[in-house]
Amino acid sequence: MLDKYKVVIFDWDGTVMDSIAHIVHCVQQAAIDNRLAVPDEASVRNIIGLSLPEAFLTLFGEDKSADFERFRDNYKDQYVKNDDITPPLFAHVPELLTGLLEKGIKLAVATGKGRRGLDNAILRSGLGHFFSYSRTSDEAASKPSPDMLIQISRFYGVSAAECLMVGDSIHDMKMAKNANMDSIGVTFGAHQRERLLEAQPTAIIDCYSTAIGWLN
């Protein structure tokens, strides 16, 4: 299945790194610090993948927009304050990335994280040598806009039909659909299978060992 693609693009949180619980905790703690209504886990999972401004408006509403900058700073402080806590990678991620590169496929990242956050996460993950390009919410419109994917395909000089998006949220799937790009939804991140299916992804997998099997 993967032989038709020249570029595979990965979301980060909930797709490469098992960081969903950490994000939920940081959002909830930042809400507490700013005396905002604390969102439940399901609500936070629903906004994972969006840019932080979009996520804030979805969770707290336009009437709280004056609190955004303070919330943003609190959230980022929460996320990085303990360098000993690095969320683990999902099973078989290094093997999958290695197999894709061996097939001559280029690898990129499209994430709702900011540039500083992504660079820090990639450094701590030890996966930097796999990815040759990335786009973040600092450099493109928030998902589900196709802007990130358009920028990535142009960087590599390929069409959307030659690219594949891999992500764990409905926002990833809708972004790919808006870019006329194939997508794979993974069920071990922010959103479950039923939610991912709403955007009609090309495939859904429960473990990266399935994708490794496609390489062979």
What digits encode the pLDDT tens for the residues 15-55? Answer: 999 999 988 998 999 999 999 999 999 999 988 888 888 99
pLDDT score recorded for residue 82: 55
- For the chain, residues classed under CATH 1.10.150 are 20-80
Q: Which residues are the active-site residues?
A: 11, 13
CATH of region 20-80: 1.10.150
The class of domain 2-18+88-215 in CATH terms is alpha beta
- pLDDT for 65 equals 85
Q: What is the pTM of this model?
A: 0.91
What is the rounded distance in angstroms from the CA atom of residue 42 to the CA atom of residue 191? 9
Average pLDDT over residues 9-18: 96
Return the pLDDT at 49: 85
Average pLDDT value for the chain = 92
Cβ burial, residue 109 (10 Å; 0-12/13-18/19+): buried
Kindly report, as residue ranges, where domains of CATH 3.40.50.1000 are found in the chain: 2-18+88-215
Distance CA 94, CA 26 (A): 27
**Radius of gyration (C-alpha) of the chain in whole angstroms:** 17
Contacts 24+ apart (CB under 8 A), 101-104: 101/130, 103/2, 103/3, 103/215
Cβ neighbours for 159, distance < 8 A, ≥ 6 positions apart: 153
H or E stretch covering 135: strand 133-135
